[in-house]
Amino acid sequence: MNDNDVLNAMRDAMAEVHMHTPVQELVAAGRSRRRRRTAATATGAALATGLALTLAISSPQVHAPPASAGNQVHVRLAAFSVDTNPDGTVTVKLTKRQALDPEIMQRTLAQAGIPAQITINKWCQASDASQSLEADLQKVVGTGEQSGEKVMVITPSAMPPATKLIIGMRTEDYQPDSPNSTALSMQLVPDDAPLTCTTDVPTDTPKSGPKS
């Protein structure tokens, strides 16, 4: 069916209808509207696709998987630095040039494959002493030197599954009259171990990990 057939069919169907606008103009207007609708639909689809791509590219991965122990991390901040070594160990250095934000350090250690809970001027330990994994802690945490300064060297692969480090740090101005000199203590405990915490500087330094 061509355009003339369409015009003839419309003319015959509307023989008794009187209009002031010629049929040819109505048909032309209809074609124009169809073209506009088609273009609008295509444009809308393109915009929707573009929006979907933008959301996919710019939206963060809220449910991203946790970092693995093999991630390479090199973070140097005023308060601390964390560096992954070629052998898989992680060097942690506390500079004490600025107050330390425990949450930032926890996230940094997690990226390096080290689950940790860090507190400032508060020390926590497993409520049940049998859940303090002292023998494993000696395999996980050691000391070393970097530029003549003492640093911690942590081996994430030595951590038993479902465990975390409990790290308590003391600021220089906290309880200056205390006879205890502990500045940092560490324990290794299961993730779900109940903890008992205190604001008193611990005295049992031999079982508290490296002392700084």
Give the pLDDT score at 124: 94
Tokens at residue 85, please? 């070594």
Tokens at residue 46, please? 């393109």
**Cα 74 to Cα 82: distance, rounded to the nearest angstrom:** 6
Q: Tell me which DSSP letter residue 95 carries.
A: -
- % helix / strand / coil in the chain, to the nearest 5? 35, 25, 40
**Cα 157 to Cα 147: distance, rounded to the nearest angstrom:** 25
The reported pTM is: 0.62
Give the pLDDT score at 6: 43
Tokens at residue 196, please? 């008992």
Give the pLDDT score at 108: 96
- The predicted-structure confidence for 83-131, as pLDDT tens digits, reads as follows 999 999 999 998 876 788 999 999 999 999 999 999 999 999 999 999 9
**Cα 99 to Cα 120: distance, rounded to the nearest angstrom:** 10
Along the 212 residues of the chain, how does pLDDT read in single tens digits? 444 444 444 444 344 444 444 545 545 655 666 665 555 555 454 444 443 333 333 333 323 333 344 578 999 998 999 999 999 999 999 887 678 899 999 999 999 999 999 999 999 999 999 999 999 999 999 988 888 888 999 999 999 999 999 999 999 899 999 998 888 899 999 999 999 999 999 885 544 444 44
Residues 6+ apart with CB under 8 A from 193: 126, 127, 128, 131
Report strand pairing: 141-146 vs 149-154: antiparallel
Query: What distances in angstroms separate CA 97 from CA 78, 79, 81, 94, one per listed residue?
Result: 6, 6, 11, 8
168, 183 in Cβ contact below 8 A? Answer: no
